[in-house]
Amino acid sequence: MKKKVLIIGIILIVISLFSFFLFFNNNKSDDKSINDLLKEKGYSDSEVSFILDKVSKEDYDYVLEFGYDKSLINILSSSEYDENKFTDYIKYYMKNKDSNINDIITIINSDYDLDNYPASSLLASLVKEKYYINGNVARYLDYGNNHDVDFKKVIGIVNSKADLGFYSESLDSNLGANNLVLVNKFYHLKDDYMPSDLVSLGGQYNRGANSRMRKEAADAFMKMVDAAKLDNIILYNASAFRSYDYQVNLYNRYIKRDGKAAADKYSARPGYSEHQTGLCSDLNIIDDSFDGTDEANWLKDNAYKYGFILRFPKGKEDITGYKYEPWHYRYVGLDAAKIIYEDDITLEEYYAYYIEKL
């Protein structure tokens, strides 16, 4: 009985060794086959070794179909190369053979659906920007190829719709966004809109006729004024909530004085004024002389801590549609204000990426 068991054991060992031998030889044969085939395509020994090291075995046939191309080595040599995206690189490269390999890899690595767009340094730079929105890519490329501005500005202008031309669209403001409701040269409020929670600023907090703000904004405003006072900075409201009818009279007065084109650079058309939201305030001096004062500088550095943003910053006129207004601050809440301040963006840019895109 023991002898029979021993024989069976020996037989099983022999079968196992034979199976391993066949498996090893088959794999060796396969490796030898791909080596030879790649050499026949024109790749050197070192290139073949490099390819087999960087490409998954399941993609070997794809390499053979690809044929000899030095760009294959360049793709595999990139520090940004991702083995899992090998076929995507090759497919996109085949459509863009004259393009920079690094641009091709950057575009594919972005994971955006861009197969139908030609590879370019502009596209590669755009996809690396934080506020890139894939749905806007065609407009990004159109604007970027026709204007000498940096990539961040291209994205800011397009995301804000400014590339379409101010007042070219008339869209209802999304009141559901609450403190983040956008009112600008594209988004407007109805002529009868008035916030239901307006409260009046009084005492040290106000020196203007238009003294009302929405309650949450008013509370934050008073906290900001109190904090500034501790730093020997005196702040106060000069103009907050303004009704639609009030804006009609104001805007018409500016047109009569300066003409419509000039008025549109510093005054909102009725329904398009942010003051109608009850979420903003013109502080202290509504004049360019406010710029550079201790009060203006304190606001720039600290307003975001209380949920306010400088609404129409210098250098962003082509995004907001308004000239720089160092006195105009808008309440958006602590979280949004922090992002807008730290990333140096406008409410338009924030809204497009965090609200409208969703």
- What is the per-residue pLDDT across 216-266, written as a single tens digit (0 to 9) for each? 999 999 999 999 999 999 999 999 999 999 999 999 999 999 999 999 999
Regarding whether 114 and 171 lie in a shared domain, the answer is no
Q: What distance in Å separates the CA atoms of residue 242 and residue 211, rounded to the nearest whole number? A: 9
Please state the pTM of the whole predicted model.
0.86
Contact of 93 with 75, CB cutoff 8 Å: yes
Residue 90 lies in a domain: yes
211/290 same-domain check: yes
Same domain (yes/no): 333, 192: yes
Instruction: Tell me what the mean pLDDT of segment 40-48 comes to.
Output: 91
Residues 51 and 182 in one domain: no
pLDDT of amino acid 34: 87
Tokens representing 54 are 């960087």
What separation in angstroms does the CA of 244 have from each of 19, 29, 109, 188, 268?
Answer: 87, 82, 49, 11, 11
- At residue 347, the 3 state secondary structure works out as helix
For residue 336 the two structure tokens come to 């949004």
Residue 98: the pLDDT is 93
Q: Is residue 149 part of a domain?
A: no
- Of all helices (H) and strands (E), which one includes residue 258? helix 244-258
Over range 259-286, report the average pLDDT: 96
The per-residue pLDDT for 9 is 56
In a domain, 143, yes or no: no
Residue 64: predicted pLDDT: 86
Residues 6+ apart with CB under 8 A from 12: none
- Per-residue pLDDT of 98-132, as tens digits, reads 999 999 999 999 999 999 999 999 999 999 999 99
Whether the per-residue pLDDT at 25 is higher than 60: the answer is no
**pLDDT at position 62, please?**
83
pLDDT beyond 70 at 7: no
CA 184 to mean position of chain CA atoms: 19
Of 325, 342, 348, 349, the active-site residue reads: 325
Identify which of 351, 178, 203, 355 has the alpha carbon closest to the alpha carbon of residue 279: 178
240 located within any domain: yes
Residues 108 and 182 in one domain: no
* pLDDT value of position 200: 98
109 and 19 fall within a common domain:
yes
Q: Given a cut of 60, is residue 272 above it in pLDDT? A: yes
Q: Are 191 and 227 in contact (CB under 8 A)?
A: no
Name the residue range of residue 78's domain.
Answer: 2-128
Whether 46 has a pLDDT exceeding 90, the answer reads yes
Helix, strand or coil, per DSSP, at residue 120: coil
Q: Could you tell me the sign of the dihedral formed by the alpha carbons of 302, 304, 310, 315, in that order?
A: positive
* 40 catalytically annotated: no
Are both 180 and 251 inside the same structural domain?
Answer: yes
Mind listing the pLDDT tens digit for each residue in 49-80?
999 999 998 888 888 887 788 899 999 999 99
- 144 found inside a domain: no
For residue range 78-92, what is the model confidence (pLDDT) as tens digits? 999 999 999 999 999
Q: Tell me if residue 150 falls in helix, strand or coil.
A: coil
Confirm whether 105 is domain-assigned: yes
Q: Please, which residues have CB within 8 angstroms of residue 306's CB and are 6 or more apart in sequence?
A: 220, 221, 223, 224, 227, 334, 337
Q: Are residues 222 and 333 in the same domain?
A: yes
Burial code (b: 16+ CB inside 10 Å, e: under 16) for 253-290 equals: ebbeeeeeeebbeebbbbbbbbbbbbbbbbbbeeeeeb
Calpha distance 244→308 (Å, rounded): 23
State how far the Cα of 345 lies from the Cα of 317, in Å rounded to an integer.
Answer: 12
d(CA 267, CA 276): 13
Residue 201 and residue 65 share a domain: no
Higher pLDDT, 268 or 18: 268
Across all residues in the chain, what is the average pLDDT?
92
Structural domain tally of the chain? Answer: 2
Q: Judge whether 309 lies within some domain.
A: yes
Distances (CA, A) of 306 to 221, 237, 277, 330: 7, 15, 18, 11
Are 115 and 32 in a shared domain?
Answer: yes
pLDDT of residue 19 exceeding 90, the answer is: no
pLDDT at 150: 95
Tokens of 11: 């037989």
Residues 172 and 306 in one domain: yes
Residue 66: per-residue pLDDT: 77
**CATH (domain of 276):** 3.30.1380.10
* Residue 294 and residue 344 in one domain: yes
